[in-house]
């Protein structure tokens, strides 16, 4: 299945990519494929809804990843 | 019968040695609800304009809210306020921990301290009773010694204590308050106000609990919330890494304040980051009353020249930036030790780091020399110099006595052009988020009634792309670009500010109750209704937040603050010299236009004064006349 990923840093323009994953893959599989440690994930959305690390992804899902760069 | 609150406000007059209990009507509670609202109301009612903040007439207000004491994660903070000795403006500063709910359990929704005791005293509040007790034996003790002594004296290890350390006693203008050694009302110098009152500590113990209107519903929301906290990524991250987890990403994004806001990227950030923190000094998590997030860090290190004790509160993100990147210091253990000293002495670590960074830049520029520093060289990255200055500030010794005034007044005293390196807004040092990378947050810094404050404003970055979905309930649908300075950015800030400000009214924690975290707007409204029995709406709650902000604005207007004070530091108008945001700057004329647009949206005039129409809408026309 194909997952659309948008990974934000600062500046409003994400790094966008399409990732091919086996059916039944979960969010943490996607993050592992991206080489992104959990510590660098602040906030996850799937198709504008809340995402979680163990969520099962579906073909065509749009995943937004925002690092922990908010207030302290 | 009230639900969620006691209906009682405790007033203590230290000059006369008297106490009284005020019982406001329900309408008052529903109009102001708590926190900032209570603080602003008492300041407008009780303080004459122009009063010296360290005079007995400045009331020191400890405010919970109508929801504090309910067993929900993140619902149990409290707000301390007065006129700030650091800024001369409205002051409020929030803390978590256990003191807020304990005050509610002891029968009071807020405590207002008036006057000044002749000799050092502490308050002992127990289940509706209050005593003003002699504190001669506590004066001079640090916060840890004070807590231990009070628990022994009162024969109860479960007594909750707010205290000041030596910094507050000596009226360092950014002295803070602490409770249980790990929780701090850090900003705006409330420790100096408490010290000026000769009030060393407040001990509280309560065994009652305000009734809840719908206890089953509150339980159901608490279960849902705590379950969600376990899997919702921002909360999972806070549980695992705490706020230190922010540092690496903030540096990677290019807005980690470095060497006195000169740069936004620190080459030594890796050494201060969460993985290193966990490998070297982390001991365990800690938390606040009833909170499942457990974001607080305990640290420990038994050997070496910087021993760390797990009882004294571990460094947060702001501490790592304050005593790390801001000083060019990559020695994590020294940063944690400096943070521990600030906690024991009762110094706000944000202002402490900022004032030391100011001194180091002045030294680099030749404005300060070893003749001013008692022979100490103040070089970027020198941990020993940092530790020495913390001790000197707390003791008000040598250069420390000047730095104890905060950067604005220290620069005035030093002269020789030092003000070019003294970065503050309305007199308060900035928290460590570079506005060139978050222009909405920069609006918050400029417009906060307390001076630069990072808590009462949304941080743009989380609402990029689909992240904006979290703000759909506010009517915001356009993804945020953190760097833009346009009308959409003012709309984002204008609406977001009310949602964030609500947390300071209800004394909620941003780490559960701002939109990216586990609580949602819908469930928050349900929770307030279930606790209080009031048929509240999100509209009503946001109006309460706006009312508190407008009251704080009225307070500042009558103290002489104008539109000219709603600005940023000069460095953010210059190009970022390095890092991922190299070349980015905020145009000052454009920024001033955004501020004026915010006034227009708010119903304020060109000088930032709320119009009569706005005051009447919020029911504040009577207070404004005061």
Q: Characterize B435-446 residue by residue with b for buried, 16 or more Cβ atoms within 10 angstroms of its Cβ, and e for exposed.
A: bbbbbbbbbbbb
Cα nearest neighbour of A48 on chain B? B466
Considering only residues 450 to 469 of chain B, which have any Cβ-Cβ distance to chain A shorter than 8 Å? 454-455, 459, 461-462, 464-467, 469
ipTM for this model:
0.95
Q: Does B411 touch chain A (CB under 8 A)?
A: no
pLDDT value for B623: 79
Q: Characterize B304-328 residue by residue with b for buried, 16 or more Cβ atoms within 10 angstroms of its Cβ, and e for exposed.
A: eebebbbebbbbbbbbbbbbbbbbb
Q: What is the average pLDDT score of chain A?
A: 92
CA distance B124 to chain A (A): 33
pLDDT tens digits for range B209-255: 999 999 999 999 999 999 999 999 999 999 999 999 999 999 999 99
Is B461 in contact with A50 (Cβ distance < 8 A)? no
Partner residue facing B482 (CB), from A10, A44, A71: A10
Counted across chains A and B, CB pairs separated by less than 8 A come out at: 123
0.95 exceeded by pTM: yes
Complete DSSP assignment for B394-457 = HHT-THHHHHTTHHHHHHHHH-TTGGGG--EETTEEPPS--GGG-HHHHHHHHH-TTSS-SSSS
**Test mutation, B462, B471, B585, chain A, max A CBs within 10 A:** B462
Is A6 in contact with B465 (Cβ distance < 8 A)? yes
**Test mutation, A10, A54, A64, chain B, max B CBs within 10 A:** A10
pLDDT value for B456: 85
- What is the residue-level pLDDT of chain A in tens, covering all 72 positions? 999 999 998 776 899 999 999 999 999 999 999 999 988 999 999 999 999 999 999 999 999 999 998 754
pLDDT tens digits for range B196-205: 999 999 999 9
Mean pLDDT of B260-278: 97
CA distance B413 to chain A (A): 32
What is the percent of chain B with per-residue pLDDT over 90, rounded to a whole number? Answer: 98
Is A68 in contact with B234 (Cβ distance < 8 A)? yes
| Alpha-carbon gap, residue B236 to B139, rounded angstroms | 41
Is A70 in contact with B461 (Cβ distance < 8 A)? yes
In the structure, what pLDDT confidence band is assigned to residue B1 with cuts at 50, 70 and 90? confident
Which tokens in the block code for residue B216?
């089953």
Cα nearest neighbour of B453 on chain A? A71
Residues of A in contact with B245 (CB under 8 A): 39, 68
Output the CA–CA distances (angstroms, integers) from residue B526 to A19, A26, B2, B76, B315, in the order listed.
39, 32, 17, 17, 35
Q: Does A52 touch chain B (CB under 8 A)?
A: yes
Is B459 in contact with A69 (Cβ distance < 8 A)? yes
Cα nearest neighbour of B319 on chain A? A72
Residues of B in contact with A30 (CB under 8 A): none
pLDDT value for B624: 63
Considering only residues 304 to 363 of chain B, which have any Cβ-Cβ distance to chain A shorter than 8 Å? 316-318, 321
Q: Does A9 touch chain B (CB under 8 A)?
A: yes
Is B252 in contact with A39 (Cβ distance < 8 A)? no
Instruction: List CB contacts of B75: < 8 A, sequence separation 6 or more.
Output: B67, B68, B290, B506, B507, B508, B509, B512, B513, B527
pLDDT tens digits for range B445-485: 999 999 999 988 899 999 999 999 999 999 999 999 999 99
CA distance B359 to chain A (A): 24
CB B435 within 8 A of CB B588: no
Residues of A in contact with B483 (CB under 8 A): 10-12
Is B479 in contact with A66 (Cβ distance < 8 A)? no
Is A66 in contact with B467 (Cβ distance < 8 A)? yes
What sign has the CA pseudo-torsion B293, B289, B394, B59? positive
Is B237 in contact with A41 (Cβ distance < 8 A)? yes
Instruction: List CB contacts of B609: < 8 A, sequence separation 6 or more.
Output: B553, B557
Cα nearest neighbour of B478 on chain A? A12
pLDDT tens digits for range B325-380: 999 999 999 999 999 999 999 999 999 999 999 999 999 999 999 999 999 999 99
pLDDT value for A72: 45
| Alpha-carbon gap, residue B468 to B472, rounded angstroms | 7
pLDDT value for B622: 86
């Amino acid at each position: 299945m194909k997952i659309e990923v948008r990974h934000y840093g600062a500046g409003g323009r994400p790094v966008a990519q399409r990732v091919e994953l086996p059916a039944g893959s979960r969010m943490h599989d996607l993050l592992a494929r991206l080489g992104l440690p959990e510590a660098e994930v602040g906030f996850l959305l799937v198709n504008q809804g809340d995402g979680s690390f163990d969520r099962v992804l579906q073909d065509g899902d749009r995943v937004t990843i925002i690092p922990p760069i908010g207030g302290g | 019968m009230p639900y969620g609150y006691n209906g009682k406000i405790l007033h203590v007059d230290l000059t006369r040695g008297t106490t009284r209990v005020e019982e406001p009507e329900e309408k008052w509670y529903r109009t102001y609800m708590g926190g900032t609202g209570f603080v602003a109301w008492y300041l407008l009612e009780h303080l004459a304009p122009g009063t010296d903040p360290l005079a007995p007439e400045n009331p020191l207000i400890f405010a919970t809210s109508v929801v504090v004491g309910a067993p929900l994660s993140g619902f149990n903070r409290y707000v301390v306020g007065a006129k700030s000795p650091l800024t001369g403006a409205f002051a409020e500063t929030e803390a978590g921990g256990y003191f807020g709910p304990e005050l509610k359990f002891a029968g009071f929704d807020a405590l207002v301290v008036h006057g000044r005791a002749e000799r050092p005293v502490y308050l002992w509040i127990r289940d509706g009773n209050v005593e003003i007790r002699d504190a001669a034996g506590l004066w001079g003790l640090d916060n840890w010694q004070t807590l231990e002594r009070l628990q022994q004296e009162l024969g109860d290890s479960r007594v909750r204590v707010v205290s000041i350390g030596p910094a507050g006693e000596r009226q360092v203008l950014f002295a803070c308050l602490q409770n249980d050694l790990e929780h701090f009302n850090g900003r705006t110098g409330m420790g100096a106000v408490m010290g000026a009152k000769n009030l060393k500590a407040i001990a509280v113990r309560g065994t009652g609990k305000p009734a809840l209107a719908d206890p089953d519903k509150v339980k159901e929301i608490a279960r849902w919330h705590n379950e969600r906290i376990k899997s919702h990524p921002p909360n999972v991250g806070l549980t695992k890494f705490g706020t230190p987890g922010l540092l690496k990403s903030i540096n990677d994004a290019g807005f980690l304040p470095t060497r006195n806001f000169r740069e936004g990227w620190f080459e030594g950030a890796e050494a201060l980051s969460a993985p290193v923190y966990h490998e070297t000094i982390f001991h365990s998590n800690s938390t606040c009353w009833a909170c499942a997030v457990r974001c607080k860090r305990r640290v420990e290190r038994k050997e070496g020249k910087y021993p760390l004790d797990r009882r004294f509160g571990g460094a947060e993100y702001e501490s790592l930036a304050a005593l790390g990147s801001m000083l060019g210091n990559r020695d994590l253990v020294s940063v944690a030790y400096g943070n521990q000293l600030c906690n024991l002495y009762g110094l706000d670590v944000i202002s402490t780091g900022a004032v030391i960074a100011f001194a180091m830049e002045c030294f680099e520029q030749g404005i300060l020399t070893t003749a001013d520093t008692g022979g100490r060289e103040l070089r970027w990255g020198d941990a020993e110099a940092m530790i020495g200055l913390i001790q000197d500030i707390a003791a008000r010794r040598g250069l420390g006595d000047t730095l104890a005034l905060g950067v604005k007044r220290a620069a005035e005293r030093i002269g020789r052009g030092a003000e070019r390196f003294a970065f503050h807004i309305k007199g308060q040092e900035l928290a460590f988020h570079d506005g060139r990378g978050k222009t909405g947050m920069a609006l918050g810094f400029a417009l906060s009634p307390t001076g630069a404050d990072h808590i009462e404003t949304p941080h743009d970055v989380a609402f990029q792309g689909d992240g904006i979905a979290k703000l759909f309930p506010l009517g915001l649908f356009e993804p945020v670009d953190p760097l833009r300075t346009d009308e959409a950015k003012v709309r984002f800030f204008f609406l977001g500010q009310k949602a964030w400000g609500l947390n300071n009214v209800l004394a909620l924690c941003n780490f559960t109750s701002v939109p990216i975290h586990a609580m949602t707007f819908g469930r928050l409204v349900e929770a307030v209704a279930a606790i209080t029995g009031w048929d509240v709406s999100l509209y009503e709650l946001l109006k309460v937040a706006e009312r508190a902000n407008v009251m704080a604005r009225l307070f500042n207007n009558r103290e002489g603050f104008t539109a000219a004070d709603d600005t940023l530091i000069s460095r953010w108008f210059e190009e970022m010299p390095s890092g991922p945001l190299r070349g980015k700057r905020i145009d000052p004329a454009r920024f001033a236009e955004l501020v004026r647009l915010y006034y227009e949206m708010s119903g304020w005039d060109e000088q930032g004064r709320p119009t009569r129409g706005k005051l009447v809408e919020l029911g504040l026309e009577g207070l404004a006349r005061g």
